[in-house]
Amino acid sequence: MNDELMNVRPMIEDDFAEAVIIMMHAFRGKMVMLKSWSDKKIIDLLFYLPTFDKNNLDGNYVFTYEEKVVGILNLKWDEQQKIKKPPKFNIFGAIKRFGIFKLLFTILSLTILETKVTKDEMLVDYIAIHPDFRGKGIGSKLLDFGENQARKNKEITKYSLMVIGQNIRAIKLYEKLGFNIVKTTKLFFLRIFSGIKVYHYMVKDLHK
């Protein structure tokens, strides 16, 4: 890949259609319950949730190659969370469209994986690369970008992320980049529906 054709920039509303496809691929592999769903239905669900919210784009970045969005990164930190506007969510429309059972367990799984950030922390809320562009160094570049953003804020000393136990390749990558597992949480009831058995909280100490 030619470095000159790569760029990382803040996400804009025009990126949503490309970004949601990348998210769909990342999501599909993780939620067993949604395996039978078509790509289109998962994309619909992600729009409904809403995964990308034009009123809360602070911390959302895209990696572009030849101006096409090939990777997405969302960073979360304390100050940003304080000024976050509540997302608009049409719960009745969503139940009608996706069924209460699957919707409930998707939201529950996402809520469990949702972490509160502390004042000294920059959290990678999500990172995903288009399947055709994985293994080419883009994920590492985006994580470096996020780390640089964290280092700009003097109060932040921890760069962190959550990753599910099954995502062995991603865990290996994060360890290579300096993250360590500091906490592992086991899921019991929810694992039947989500397929997620454990998830790890990984931290990179920015003092080092």
Ligand X SMILES: CC(C)(COP(=O)(O)OP(=O)(O)OC[C@H]1O[C@@H](n2cnc3c(N)ncnc32)[C@H](O)[C@@H]1OP(=O)(O)O)[C@@H](O)C(=O)NCCC(=O)NCCS
- Binding positions for ligand X, rule: CB under 6 A: 26, 127-129, 134-140, 161, 163, 167, 169-170, 172-173
Compute the least distance from the CB of residue 158 to ligand X, in Å. Answer: 16
Compute the least distance from the CB of residue 66 to ligand X, in Å. Answer: 16
Alpha-carbon distance 116 to 196, whole Å? 20
C-beta of 25 vs 84, nearer to ligand X: 25
C-beta of 7 vs 140, nearer to ligand X: 140
Name the residue number minimizing CB distance to ligand X.
139
Compute the least distance from the CB of residue 172 to ligand X, in Å. Answer: 6
Tokens 């930190």 belong to residue:
77
> Cβ(117)–Cβ(81) under 8 Å?
yes
> Cβ(19)–Cβ(72) under 8 Å?
yes
Secondary structure (DSSP) of 35-100: TTS-HHHHHHHHHHTTSS-TT--TTEEEEEETTEEEEEEEEEEHHHHHTPPPPP--HHHHHHHH-H
Compute the least distance from the CB of residue 104 to ligand X, in Å. Answer: 22
Query: Minimal CA–CA distance to 42: which of 113, 137, 106?
Result: 106
Compute the least distance from the CB of residue 156 to ligand X, in Å. Answer: 19
Tokens representing 66 are: 């030849």
Burial 190-200 (b: 16+ CB within 10 A, else e): eeebbbbeebb
C-beta of 49 vs 95, nearer to ligand X: 49
C-beta of 75 vs 94, nearer to ligand X: 75
C-beta of 99 vs 135, nearer to ligand X: 135
